[in-house]
Amino acid sequence: MSFFIGKDREARRAYGFDEVAIVPGAITINPEEVDASVKLGPRKLKIPFVMSAMDAVTSPQTASLMSSLGGLAVLNLDGVYARYEKPEEALKKIIEAKESQATEIVQEVYSKPPKESLIVKRIKESKAKGAIVAVSTVPQNAARYGALAARAGADYFVVQATVVTAKHVSDNHHVLDLKELAKKIKIPLIVGNCVTYGAALELMETGAVGILVGVGPGSACTSRQVLGIGVPQVTAIADVAKAREAYLKKTGRYVSVIADGGMANGGDVCKAVACGADMVMLGSAFARAQEAPGGGYHWGMAMPSRYLPRGTRVRVGQTGSLRQILFGPSLRHDGSQNLVGALKTCMGYVGAKTLRAMQMAQVIIAPEIKTEGKALQLSR
Amino acid sequence: MSFFIGKDREARRAYGFDEVAIVPGAITINPEEVDASVKLGPRKLKIPFVMSAMDAVTSPQTASLMSSLGGLAVLNLDGVYARYEKPEEALKKIIEAKESQATEIVQEVYSKPPKESLIVKRIKESKAKGAIVAVSTVPQNAARYGALAARAGADYFVVQATVVTAKHVSDNHHVLDLKELAKKIKIPLIVGNCVTYGAALELMETGAVGILVGVGPGSACTSRQVLGIGVPQVTAIADVAKAREAYLKKTGRYVSVIADGGMANGGDVCKAVACGADMVMLGSAFARAQEAPGGGYHWGMAMPSRYLPRGTRVRVGQTGSLRQILFGPSLRHDGSQNLVGALKTCMGYVGAKTLRAMQMAQVIIAPEIKTEGKALQLSR
Amino acid sequence: MSFFIGKDREARRAYGFDEVAIVPGAITINPEEVDASVKLGPRKLKIPFVMSAMDAVTSPQTASLMSSLGGLAVLNLDGVYARYEKPEEALKKIIEAKESQATEIVQEVYSKPPKESLIVKRIKESKAKGAIVAVSTVPQNAARYGALAARAGADYFVVQATVVTAKHVSDNHHVLDLKELAKKIKIPLIVGNCVTYGAALELMETGAVGILVGVGPGSACTSRQVLGIGVPQVTAIADVAKAREAYLKKTGRYVSVIADGGMANGGDVCKAVACGADMVMLGSAFARAQEAPGGGYHWGMAMPSRYLPRGTRVRVGQTGSLRQILFGPSLRHDGSQNLVGALKTCMGYVGAKTLRAMQMAQVIIAPEIKTEGKALQLSR
Amino acid sequence: MSFFIGKDREARRAYGFDEVAIVPGAITINPEEVDASVKLGPRKLKIPFVMSAMDAVTSPQTASLMSSLGGLAVLNLDGVYARYEKPEEALKKIIEAKESQATEIVQEVYSKPPKESLIVKRIKESKAKGAIVAVSTVPQNAARYGALAARAGADYFVVQATVVTAKHVSDNHHVLDLKELAKKIKIPLIVGNCVTYGAALELMETGAVGILVGVGPGSACTSRQVLGIGVPQVTAIADVAKAREAYLKKTGRYVSVIADGGMANGGDVCKAVACGADMVMLGSAFARAQEAPGGGYHWGMAMPSRYLPRGTRVRVGQTGSLRQILFGPSLRHDGSQNLVGALKTCMGYVGAKTLRAMQMAQVIIAPEIKTEGKALQLSR
């Protein structure tokens, strides 16, 4: 739907999670009988939850734990685990930094370069208990770390930056060819982030098994403020999901759409799937786990940049174990615990037996803001 | 009206009470001469107000009082009155819980199972003074409690959950057949909640005399945050009212549409009727009564869930007697007292002599937020 | 423009002052050379400003002062000046009431009945210095006070209530015939409030020289919260202005459209005229005058109701003389002073030499909220 | 896109920066290889940044510095530098004024008249190190100061007021003929502000090399509140950019569109260019520089008016050097530092090699408010 923002200048209206809601179905299903498993490339995962490639969330230990719980974690090969022998000390500096100095200290901590030996070590640590583990890096390092990660035993390789396209142009630098990379490394590739139909389609054509969707929506992200760039998640997910269907029809290959960022609670997770996502990648929601290395804090991977820091360190608190956040029992009514239960309950109300069916749930536009205002008024 | 939230993905825009207002009519009527009575199944009620099946609101005593004032109360058969010989003590625990522990304590209080003997006792207590009384339970207990309640003398039987459909699917559990239930128990059935035309129509076909409308709108409810599910009340009521008219035309039987949740003041009550409701079910508005068992607090019946608590305990305060809240005199300008007077005055301004006429009042879309902001600015 | 708020249920989108802005013209005029005078029935007024019929604003003294400054004030014949020999004492009680008791005390003060002798006395006081003065009452008292006011020398008679229609229906009470009243009393009649094309047209046909526009928009008014009734001013004014043009075309008689309520600053006044108003009636803006009897407080005339109090006592402060509020010099950048200067400057930017030309200024829809947020962010 | 705001009364919807976002392109470019230079009349500037003609921002010293960094500053010939031999003292009074007295003190400081000798002196000071410098005045003084400024060596002459049109009407005063002025003075003319297609086209026909766009959007501006006038920047820029293209097609001459006001961070700068601006004029963003004469405060040039003060003194703080604000390194994640880096990074993500290409970036409508709310919730 296009509107004129100026003379002869059209723009689409895009929507975010807070602007939509899911409509219950005419048939309901017992939530204990719905199936929330998902296929990602060659493997099936019990739950469609991915732990973000953020240092406050995914350590070798939490990656291992996440796999044992049925989900997938992405370990960041550009993060503190690859930069420090003793990452605990680096994390401590960030956690204990004063509010006003957080950006500077994060920049300092991340100024130490990663070591290849540490990368190998961390992958092996996370795989120690037989876990399925993904690792990520930025496009600049992808060619180098890709082979390394594959050899060290990583199960998925994620190439991730604020915006990634299949066609990057540079006269001066060598440009990463994703198609070539996908062929060369022997493990399944996941790429992103993107937010449009066209860009997603081209990324699918590189051979990736998963596409990360989300530019500018996360709680630890300020891309829109700094760069003006961003597409709210409902529209981004729906557009990329449409690209998935078109690509599936054309090629017969199913590429998973992984919503990344902007999901604060169970409701947002349900909406992401209802808009077409196959999986959801969460940062701050898992940063609240007692096991999370961020110790109650969370920060984005664009924050350390000296050039253009985007994102901030936010206090998220520690509210329960990772298991509790995923499966309950829940002591919180804000939708931050038992995310799998919330998804299954929603599937039941919608009458969707599988995630694939849930992607066709009816969604309405329904701004949330005012009801909240009223609730606050009453709770005083 | 549909908009595109993504490529080839349409969504309706739904509206809430805060987004609409009622337009005065070209003819006005003396408010003392309008008729606000309503028929619910076999009986006529003097006023279209229903007291929610919530423990902070409806006790056997307030149910009785509500009936004597011309309205109807719904006693929850899954609540503390059915679980405790001395419910006052259970309520006290909840009321006195610290903010941070409220959810846990509510969960604990509701972990004690209901007793059939207490159910019978509470119904008899509420009927003691000749009151008309409704009782409610969840679908899982409906078959069992339905017969019990009818024998104990209840006048209406309410089957209520977050979402109820006529077609619930389960391979493992016995599924409630509402049509069968309606036939078997001898007292009129009220079912809900629902929010769509289709689901409402099917619920009407079960033989129910009333349909509860509202998923996710109440002040003590966080379904949208936890599950992503919900439809704002203006649209939900208008859709279900349309189903009532279609069903009436087809069968000649009139099923009452009962708006449940999201109404904080007289204005919201008027809007609910103007959008097509026959009756309004209020929780927090009545929790403010001096007689309310919640002692100035209010909490929803989805809050005790250990699996997925939705809703929270809110402080609503005690502002006057139930009679004052319904009929005034009012000492408050916020629309929380003399709800019947507000409804009748509005009917007068609209030129509607009956509630049925009021359902055709002209409504406009008129966001409320900014005027409030301005008022605040001035009041400092 | 209509939208569907439910199945087969349409509603117009209405707009408020905060949602629109005025577009500068392609030609600009020196603001010192524009003409802001206006005709109201048989008389011409230098400025299109009317002082509300509210006790915190219009006393016999401020009515007299307002006339000497070129505008018009409306003295309320149902207010404290008609109820008390010494209104200062009554006003003092209200002004000094604690926040929590304000509604009760206002109700008490207004429980004393008006006296006809005081009505005559107040009109004569306000006329003492040769002022042009309007007086107002509610429809119930209009027949009785109309003749009285005319005899006492009032220049305009205002019949005002929350909603007034030409067709009021009552079986039990005598109903006011506005057409008859307009003929009987010899002074020009102003009636309102109304907010729709149809109701306005019928009020114009009673013979009134002015129509008051505004239901539920004022800062001291909570009609929307209490009754659900109200139409934002931009749409209400534009609709009634359209009725004025239709009536003018049909009859050749020009009836003034007086925007009443919801205008907090110069910007709102300019927008009211740009949307089609001939005059603006202000309450809280003038309650800020040092001469205002409210002593820095303001309250609406629906607040004293014991049945359904609507509106509240708000603290507005005293910011300067009435002359300063109307003509500057201004020490405030919030648009609350030099309202006439603001209107003339705006007329200059729009290129409108007269108020009639200003009524055709281009208006855009431009929500204000976010710019404010940003300004706040910077000012901290 | 037009909507009905009243019966037969249409209004366009206009958009502000907070309501849109930029969509990443299907091709991305290495940000180090994009070109952000711009032509303004006869000269090429390295960066498209203009420092506002505001006393808290542009002094002879900061004008000089801005030029050396590749941008352009506008020195206000009606400001304190032209009124005081020792402007530091005047600035100090404003900076040290209490919040409540700021407007009065600003009015007092600006009541001293400018001197022609000081004007010449300040221009020479700013040009001392070979800088390229623009100077500005209001239309009333343009004829007088234009010749003076040209002789003193100014490189651009800016005629600026809240609203400037090519057709100003006055019976009593001599009216400035911009076309004549453009011919008479030998230096390139920049005029504004304007916000519409028609007014911009007529200003271009006067021979100006640049058009300032923006009425009512700035952080130190309250034109909308005081006068009701204003057009949000996205729509204003897009409309004027369209006029530029039409004028270019007709005449072959390219007139620069300079967005003025309302840009608080890098994201807004990027959006302004994406909507069609050639350059951006910033006030508060540069008032945060350590070198800014405002010492951490900022105020608009409509604030000193005794007649109708618009705008206010805001505390913006001092966050880094001007070089850091323009080029980084950045210690802040809010987009207030490294504005050039932000613009180039955005151009890279959009796939725009030049500013001209960036003007065709895809923009979406995407309200920002709620994501912020959620971020706040998490950061507590």
Q: Tens digit of pLDDT for each residue in D165-177?
A: 998 988 877 888 9
Identify the band that residue C374 occupies on the pLDDT scale cut at 50, 70 and 90.
very low
CA distance A285 to A150: 29
For A250, other C-beta atoms within 10 Å of its C-beta total: 11
pLDDT of residue D372: 38
A364 in reach of chain B (CB within 8 A):
yes
- What average pLDDT score do residues B37-41 get? 98
pLDDT of residue B47: 98
Pairing assessment for the beta strands D256-260 and D210-213 based on DSSP bridges: parallel
Contacts of B216 in chain A (CB under 8 A): 21
Q: List residues bridging with B260 in a β-sheet.
A: B281
- What average pLDDT score do residues D37-47 get? 98
Pairing assessment for the beta strands D189-194 and D156-160 based on DSSP bridges: parallel
CA distance D33 to A266: 42
Would the pLDDT of D369 be above 60? no
pLDDT in tens, D176-227: 899 999 999 989 999 999 999 999 999 999 999 999 999 988 655 678 899 9
- What average pLDDT score do residues A238-243 get? 98
Q: What are phi and psi of A161, to 5 degrees?
A: -150, 175
- Mean pLDDT of all residues belonging to chain D: 92
pLDDT of residue A1: 67
Side chain identity at residue B269, one-letter code: V
Would the pLDDT of D374 be above 60? no
Token output for B104: 């846990």
Q: Are A28 and B168 in contact (CB under 8 A)?
A: yes
Helices A339-350, A266-274: axis angle to 10 degrees equals 50
B214: Cβ contacts below 8 Å, ≥ 6 apart: B192, B193, B195, B233, B236, B259, B260, B261, B262, B281
C-alpha distance from residue A325 to each of A55, A285, A329, A341 (Å): 18, 8, 8, 10
pLDDT of residue D5: 94
C47: Cβ contacts below 8 Å, ≥ 6 apart: C36, C37, C38, C69, C70, C71, C326, C340
**Catalytic residue ranges of A:** 221, 306
Would the pLDDT of C370 be above 50? no
Nearest residue of A to residue D1 by CA position?
A: A4
Torsion of CA A124, A126, A131, A134, to 10 degrees: -90
- The answer as to whether A289 is a domain residue is yes
Side chain identity at residue D341, one-letter code: G
pLDDT of residue A300: 84
Range of the domain at D208: 17-379
- The answer as to whether B380 is a domain residue is no
Asked if B265 lies within 8 A of C173 by C-beta distance, the reply is no
pLDDT of residue A377: 31
Q: What are phi and psi of B90, to 5 degrees?
A: -65, -45
The CATH number given to whatever domain includes residue C93 is: 3.20.20.70
Q: Residue C4's closest CA among B238, D198, D235, D375?
A: B238
pLDDT in tens, C8-35: 999 999 999 999 999 999 999 999 999 9
DSSP for C303-367, please give it.
Answer: SS-SSS-----EE----B-HHHHHH-----SSS-S-HHHHHHHHHHHHT-SBHHHHTT--EEE--
- What average pLDDT score do residues C85-95 get? 96
Q: Residue B284's closest CA among B323, B313, B321, B327?
A: B313
Look at phi and psi of residue D300 and say left if phi exceeds 0, alpha if psi is from -120 to 50, else beta: beta
Query: Which among D20, D333, D350 has CB closest to A103?
Result: D333
Measure A297 CA to nearest chain B CA, in Å: 21
CA distance B8 to D96: 58
Would the pLDDT of D238 be above 80? yes
CA distance B4 to D278: 32
- The answer as to whether B300 is a domain residue is yes
D7 in reach of chain C (CB within 8 A):
yes
The yes-or-no reply on B/C contact (3 CB pairs or more, < 8 Å) is yes
Identify the band that residue B221 occupies on the pLDDT scale cut at 50, 70 and 90.
low
Higher local confidence (pLDDT), A311 or C44: C44
pLDDT of residue C286: 97
Identify the band that residue D1 occupies on the pLDDT scale cut at 50, 70 and 90.
low
Q: Are C51 and C369 in contact (CB under 8 A)?
A: no
Would the pLDDT of D236 be above 50? yes
D297 three-state secondary structure: strand
pLDDT of residue D130: 94
Helix, strand, coil share (%) of chain A residues, nearest 5: 40, 20, 40
| CA-only gyration radius of chain B, Å | 20
- What average pLDDT score do residues A248-276 get? 97
Higher local confidence (pLDDT), D320 or B333: D320
C212 three-state secondary structure: strand
Pairing assessment for the beta strands C363-365 and C20-22 based on DSSP bridges: antiparallel
- The answer as to whether B180 is a domain residue is yes
Query: Which residue in D4, D5, D164 has the most chain C C-beta atoms within 10 A of its own C-beta, making it the best mutation to test that interface?
Result: D5
pLDDT in tens, C324-358: 999 999 888 889 999 999 999 999 999 999 999 99
Quick one: how far is CA A40 from the chain centroid?
14
CA distance C34 to C17: 23
- What average pLDDT score do residues C71-80 get? 97
Q: What is the helix (H) or strand (E) element at residue A51, kind and residue range?
A: strand A49-51
Q: pTM for the whole thing?
A: 0.94
CA distance C351 to C348: 5
pLDDT of residue D378: 32
CA distance D223 to C19: 15
Side chain identity at residue A222, one-letter code: T
Domain tally for chain C? 1
B377 in reach of chain C (CB within 8 A):
yes
Q: What are phi and psi of B167, to 5 degrees?
A: -115, 90
Per annotation, catalytic residue among C83, C122, C194, C221: C221
Would the pLDDT of A221 be above 70? no
Token output for C157: 């008679």
Query: Which residue in D4, D9, D206, D314 has the most chain C C-beta atoms within 10 A of its own C-beta, making it the best mutation to test that interface?
Result: D9
pLDDT in tens, C127-163: 998 999 999 999 999 999 999 999 999 999 999 999 9
Measure A78 CA to nearest chain B CA, in Å: 33
- Residue indicated by tokens 């890098």: D266
- What average pLDDT score do residues B246-274 get? 97
Q: Are D169 and C29 in contact (CB under 8 A)?
A: yes
- The answer as to whether D12 is a domain residue is no
Measure D152 CA to nearest chain C CA, in Å: 31
- Residue indicated by tokens 């009384």: B133
B186 burial via Cβ count (<10 Å: 0-12, 13-18, 19+): exposed
Please tell me what DSSP assigns to residue D18.
Answer: G
pLDDT in tens, D44-79: 999 999 999 999 999 999 999 999 999 999 999 999
Q: Residue B254's closest CA among B245, B265, B262, B263?
A: B245
Lowest pLDDT segment from A289-303, B145-159, B247-261, D212-226: D212-226
Asked if C335 lies within 8 A of D104 by C-beta distance, the reply is no
Q: Residue A349's closest CA among A17, A49, A19, A21?
A: A21
Please tell me what DSSP assigns to residue B231.
Answer: B
C110 burial via Cβ count (<10 Å: 0-12, 13-18, 19+): buried
